[in-house]
Structure 1
C-alpha cells in the first residue's frame, strides 16, 4: 500500500502520541531557562521545580542557557522533539524579541506550544532614598525643568526600557535612557544617586525596596501590588501607560501532543492554586496568572503587535 506524505507524517507522530498517553514522564524532564542562575527567571523556574518533581515522580532538571535575550534557549527548545521532555521557562521576551530584532532563529507563532502563563511581576518606577521625589508628578516636574534627565533600565528592549519610552510620551517629557547589563547594576546606580530613576521589575529588587534602599513611586500595571499596597499605579498617578509587567510561562516545541499538553496544563494550574505556591509568588512581588494554552496563544500575536508599535515609535532596534 502506498503511503501519502500526510499519512507518513501521521505515522511518525504515533509513537510520540502513544507515549504521551502512557507512562510520561519515565525519565527526567529538562526545563531550559534563557537567563543566568539566581535571576528572576531562574527563581520562577525553581518555584515549581520541587512541586512538579513530586507530581511527576521524575527530576525536573533546570538548564540555564543565558544569552541573546533568551534566544539561545528558545532555539534549543524549538529544535527538540515535542515529546514533553524538553520545556522552557519563558519570559515575555517571547513577544518583545520579534519587535526589536531584525532576525530570529525561530518563528515565534509557529515554533512553540504555549502551555501556561505562570505569573507576572509588575514593572515599578523607583527612585533612590536620597532623591527628593515622593510622587510621579515630582519626577515629571523635575524632568520638565531638566530635559534629558537620566532614567536607568536593565537593558535595551527590556520591560523597563519600554516603560521608560511610554512614560515619556504619557508625561510629555524627554528622558535619557541609560541601559545597563542587568537590573542590579542599574538599581545600584539609582541607590547611589548617580541616576535619579529607574523602571525595574519588582521581583528582581524587592529586598532592596523593602529595606528602604529603593523608593517605589508607582506600579506600571493595572493593579496595585500586595507587597506595596500604598503605592499607586501609574494610571492612578495620572500618567497611564500600557502594562509592561514581565511574565513567566511554560512553552514546549510545536506539535506537543494534546494528551501531554493537557497533563502539563492541569498539573501547573493545580499548583498555582496551592497556598504555599501562591505565597512564594506573592512574596516575590509576583501576581499569579494561570492563563492556559488558548488565551496564551492569543496573547502572543497581540503583544507582538503592541511591542512593535512602541519599538517603532521609540526607534528600539537590535541587529
Structure 2
C-alpha cells in the first residue's frame, strides 16, 4: 500500500507539472511566424529561438517564414491580411512604427489598427560602430571631427529603426552627417569595412561577428548601462550624451482584432519560454535584454511610439508620405 501511495503521489505530481506547462492556446494547425527580414539577422535569430520553444508548448510546428522587403512592410502586410486566430504571427522591430511616416509609398494597411500587439520577446542593445581604421575612438571625438567638416561624414542603414538612431544623434548634438540607405545590413557593413561609409548603428547581435574579428570598433553603446558582452565599451550616457538609449524591441504581433483570450494565452506561453534557462542564456549571448511586457503595456508602448516617431520625423523633415 505504501508503494502504491508513493506511485500515486508521483503520478499526481507529474500530472500537475504537465498541466503547469500546458497552454490555453491550442492551434489545430502549424503556426507561421513571419520574420519580415532575411535569414541570419538578429530578428531571425530571436524568432527561431522562440519558435522552437513554442512548438513544444503548442504541440504544433512553429514555422519561421522570412518575407523580406519594404523594410519589413511586405511581411507585415501578409500578417495584416491573415485571420486573427493566432496561427499567423509577426515578429517585428521598431521599423513597423516608423514606416508609416517615412516610406515613399503608402502602406497597404493602417499600422494603428492592422496589428494586435502581444508582447516583446527581447530588446536588442544597439551600438554605434565604425571601421577599426577610423581615428575617432568614441562618439564625442567622432562628432568633433564631423563638426569640422559638415556633411562629409556618412552613416549607413538598411532599415528605418536603425536610421533613426543616427538622425536622433544629429539632432541632439547639432551636427551633420549624411545618411546612405541600403537594401540589407550586410551591404552597408561591407562598405563600412571598406571605408566607403564612416559609421552606422546595429544591434550587438548583428555586430558581434565583426567585433570578434576586430574589423569594426564600438564608439558607444545605446543603453542605460554597459553590456556584459562589451564591458570596455562605454555607453553614450557615460560619454555625456543623454536621451539616446535604444528604443527598439523584438515585438510579437497578431493580425488586428485578435481575441483577448488568444492574446493572453500566447502571452502566457511566451512568459513560460522566458523562464527557460537555455533561452535566457542565448539572449544574453546575443546581447539582448529579455522582454515579456504584458499585452496592455506593449500596446501602450506601440501606440506611443507611433505618435513619438511621427512627431520626430515631421520635426526633422524626413517624411515623404504619411497615413
TM-score bucket of the superposed structures, by smaller chain:
0.7 to 0.9
Q: TM-score, normalised by structure 2?
A: 0.86
Deviation at 1:262, TM superposition (A): 1.8
Partner in structure 1 of residue 216 of structure 2 = 214
Deviation at 1:318, TM superposition (A): 4.5
Query: Which of 225, 228, 240 is the equivalent residue of 2:227?
Result: 225
Deviation at 1:241, TM superposition (A): 3.8
Residue by residue over 1:235-282, the C-alpha shift from the partner in whole angstroms, topping out at 9 and shown as x without a partner, is: 221122433443112111122223322221111111112221011112
Query: Which of 96, 112, 116 is the equivalent residue of 1:113?
Result: 116
Partner in structure 1 of residue 137 of structure 2 = 134
Deviation at 1:228, TM superposition (A): 0.8
Cα distance in structure 1, aligned partners of 2:32 and 2:74? 15
Residue by residue over 1:61-113, the C-alpha shift from the partner in whole angstroms, topping out at 9 and shown as x without a partner, is: 11121111222222221221111211111221221112323632222222221
Cα distance in structure 2, aligned partners of 1:23 and 1:225? 35
Indicate how the Cα distance of structure 1 residues 23 and 105 shifts in structure 2: closer, same or farther if over 3 A, else same: closer
Count residues with an aligned counterpart.
Answer: 298
CA contact (8 A) 2:116 2:254 kept: yes
Partner SS state of residue 292, structure 2:
strand
Cα distance in structure 2, aligned partners of 1:232 and 1:318? 35
CA contact (8 A) 1:129 1:214 kept: yes
CA contact (8 A) 1:122 1:245 kept: no
Partner in structure 1 of residue 149 of structure 2 = 146
Cα distance in structure 2, aligned partners of 1:66 and 1:23? 28
Q: TM-score, normalised by structure 1?
A: 0.87
CA contact (8 A) 1:272 1:288 kept: yes
Deviation at 1:60, TM superposition (A): 0.5
Query: Which of 120, 128, 152 is the equivalent residue of 1:125?
Result: 128
Deviation at 1:224, TM superposition (A): 2.1
Partner SS state of residue 153, structure 2:
strand
Partner in structure 2 of residue 9 of structure 1 = none
Deviation at 1:317, TM superposition (A): 2.8
Partner SS state of residue 89, structure 1:
strand
**Pairing 1:104–2:104 present:** no
Partner in structure 2 of residue 46 of structure 1 = 48
Partner in structure 2 of residue 314 of structure 1 = 316
CA contact (8 A) 1:115 1:250 kept: yes
Cα distance in structure 1, aligned partners of 2:25 and 2:193? 52
Cα distance in structure 1, aligned partners of 2:303 and 2:258? 20
Partner SS state of residue 119, structure 2:
strand
